[in-house]
Amino acid sequence: MKNKFKQSTIEKLSYYVYLLEDPRNNNIFYIWKWKWNRIFSHMNWAINWDKESNKIKIIKEILENNLKVKHKVIRHWLTEKEAYEVESAIIDFYWLENLTNIVLWHDSYDRWLMDINEIFVNYESEKIKVEDDLIAININNLYYYWITNSEIYESTRKSWRLNLDRAKNIKYALSVFRWIVREVYEINDWYFSKKQNWFDRYEFQWMIAKKNIREKYINKDVSEYFSKWSQNPIKYIMI
């Protein structure tokens, strides 16, 4: 099989979206977009690169069985923006649990696959009405659509630089993603983070807040308390 496009073909393809398919079961295990000869690069990485990944592992298994990865171009002659759109829509439709992609697709946080309840939460949430002293913790860099409740907790409770004297007087923590409260915790205590080589960082002991507290704040919009460009994930919201 050829493993390189001619320059004339590259120019005709422009940006394209492609997939890799396992010939043993016809499962699609990788979807991506780019241009030039990117579609062939994964085979070279599997042969010459020591770093392991699920994608590389599958390719190596295919080669060890004297088979060839199936390469398919889904759409071509695209602009870069069009390629991103096609790629993200196909990944959403096929869904990540079937794929070995490590990096999320373009605009994934803003426009990924959502059920109808997530649409309501993201676009129709009411502004928060603060009736308690709160500490809001932004977990934008840790959140993803299929995150579990326990993973939200682990992402929220540690490990933060904060004003401990101030935080100790606050009873409730809000887990915030994209300025929407995703969960509400009752804080039992703060203590030094156990994460190795992390200093001056704290984590809290927790329980899910009581129903009456949780229902006041869950899925509420806290955007007025967060500057869009702020680098600090911690906000103290006081009555």
What's the pLDDT score for residue 122?
76
Q: Quick one: pLDDT band at residue 106, thresholds 50, 70, 90?
A: very low
| pLDDT interval class at 105 (50, 70, 90) | very low
**What pLDDT shows up at residue 48?**
62
In the predicted structure, residue 113 carries a pLDDT above the cut 70:
no
141-188 pLDDT per residue, tens: 777 666 777 788 878 877 777 788 888 888 999 999 888 999 999 988
Cβ–Cβ < 8 Å for 55, 104 = no
Average model confidence (pLDDT) across the chain: 78
What pLDDT does 95 receive?
58
CB 138 within 8 A of CB 160: no
Query: Confidence band (pLDDT; 50, 70, 90) for 111?
Result: low
pLDDT at 45: 67
Q: Give the CA radius of gyration of the chain.
A: 23
Q: 172: closest CA among 236, 230, 220?
A: 236
Question: What pLDDT shows up at residue 2?
Answer: 66
Residue 186's DSSP bridge partners are 172, 207
Banded pLDDT at 102 (limits 50, 70, 90): very low
Higher pLDDT, 157 or 15: 15
Partners of 172 in the β-ladder: 134, 186
Q: Which residue has the tokens 């439709």?
A: 93
Q: What is the pLDDT of residues 51-96, one digit of tens each?
A: 667 777 888 888 888 888 888 888 888 888 888 777 877 777 765 5
Backbone phi, psi, residue 64, to 5°: -65, -25
- What confidence score (pLDDT) does residue 211 get? 92
Its sign, for the CA torsion 94, 97, 100, 103, is: positive
Range 116-130 burial, b when 16+ CB lie within 10 A, else e: eeeeebbeebeebee
131 has pLDDT over 90:
yes
Residue 158 is predicted with a pLDDT of 76
CA distance 171 to 192: 18
* 181 in Cβ contact with 128 (< 8 Å): yes
Token couple for 87: 């790629």
Task: Say how many CA atoms lie within 13 Å of 134 toward its Cβ.
Answer: 27
What are the backbone dihedrals phi and psi of residue 52, each rounded to the nearest 5 degrees, phi first?
-95, 150
